Amino acid sequence: MNSVMQAESHVQAAIARIFSSAVFRELVRDGRSSLFARLVHEIYREASTCPWSVGRFFDECFNFLKRSDLRNEYAYKSAIIQKILLGSHSLNTASIVDEFRVGGNKADLVMLNGTSNAFEIKSERDRLDRLCAQVSSYSEVFAEVTVLCAEKHLRAVQDTVPDFVGVSVLTERFQISKVRKGVNDPERTNSVSIFNSITKKEAAVILKRLGVAVPDLPNTLMHHALELEFSRLPSAQVHDEMVKVLKITRSLSEMSESLQEVPRSLSVFALTVPMKKRGKENLLGALDTPLMDALKWG
């Protein structure tokens, strides 16, 4: 397959797009994806005679995407999930949250496992001009911050981020090499920043867990009142309760069963996209579909 898919930029772009939430959500919703079928035509001109299943095709495309000159954010997220979350932790105790908004930034992945670690990805295709502001904002909400970068960015990342930020590299062989461990320090967080990064419902639960009465006010006044209560609380305590609450409200660890049934190349989606029973059945049926039949989806 690699010889067929080698080179043209539009083929590389199609491989990146096949690992998009749009394709995955269509498979979950409908048990088929017209976008997937169109992308297969662009990627592999011999697909009509290929004996693979749709699931096998995803894995073959991902092997191509892992190449250091083609990696995108999805490849890096897969590395974090496969090498760190599943390699060093248990889904019984650790959770992953995708695209966690903090102010005007989004942490690419946040791992919750008794504490919190926000991951910022800087792939071969990314620029570093916003990196300093990104890690600064994350450090006010999460106890640990880690930058996972391409080897070409390593020196610049080390020169840019504070010493408490962890730095790791995704190597040529698709392994995560830890260059500098991040400093885990809940005291560094800021209670108000945490409040502004969660929902009002989550904030109310945190207050109750800390023995603080939740204000009984109209919605128009509630934000300011909750923020005031958070400003009075020690940040380390707020952080620790935030982790416990988010593991309930944001975690998709119940999807871990699905993780055993989908190709490894789709582990990011399996742990970050909610699926009901019908959607899971649709997805698994689609992944088992012969590729030559899936071409008719388009």
In tens digits, what is the pLDDT along the chain, a chain of 298 residues?
Answer: 554 455 577 888 999 999 999 999 999 999 999 999 999 999 998 888 999 999 999 999 999 999 988 899 999 999 999 999 887 777 777 889 999 999 999 999 999 999 999 999 999 999 999 999 999 999 999 999 999 999 999 999 999 999 999 999 999 999 999 999 999 999 999 999 999 999 999 999 999 999 999 999 999 999 999 999 999 999 999 999 999 999 999 876 656 666 778 999 999 998 888 888 899 999 999 999 999 999 999 8
d(CA 34, CA 252): 27
Tell me, what amino acid is at 4?
V
Cα angle value 75/2/174 (rounded, 5°): 30
Architecture in CATH for domain 76-186: 3-Layer(aba) Sandwich (3.40)
d(CA 259, CA 284): 11
The pair of structure tokens assigned to 183 is 């400093």
First to last CA, the chain: 21
Global pTM exceeds 0.75: yes
d(CA 175, CA 197): 31
d(CA 184, CA 166): 9
3-class secondary-structure state, position 133:
helix
The pair of structure tokens assigned to 58 is 């995803």
Beta bridge partners of 97: 110
3-class secondary-structure state, position 111:
strand
The DSSP 8-state label assigned to residue 32 in this structure reads -
Tell me, what amino acid is at 40?
V
Query: Where are the strands (E) in 57-137, listed by range?
Result: 95-102, 105-112, 116-122
The pair of structure tokens assigned to 140 is 């006010």
CB within 8 A of 136, min separation 6: which ones? 162
d(CA 69, CA 123): 10
CB atoms within 10 A of CB 5: 18
Q: Give which of 122, 110, 114 is closest to 84, Cα–Cα.
A: 110
* pLDDT recorded at residue 2: 52
CB burial of residue 248 (10 Å; 0-12, 13-18, 19+): exposed
The pair of structure tokens assigned to 28 is 């979950």
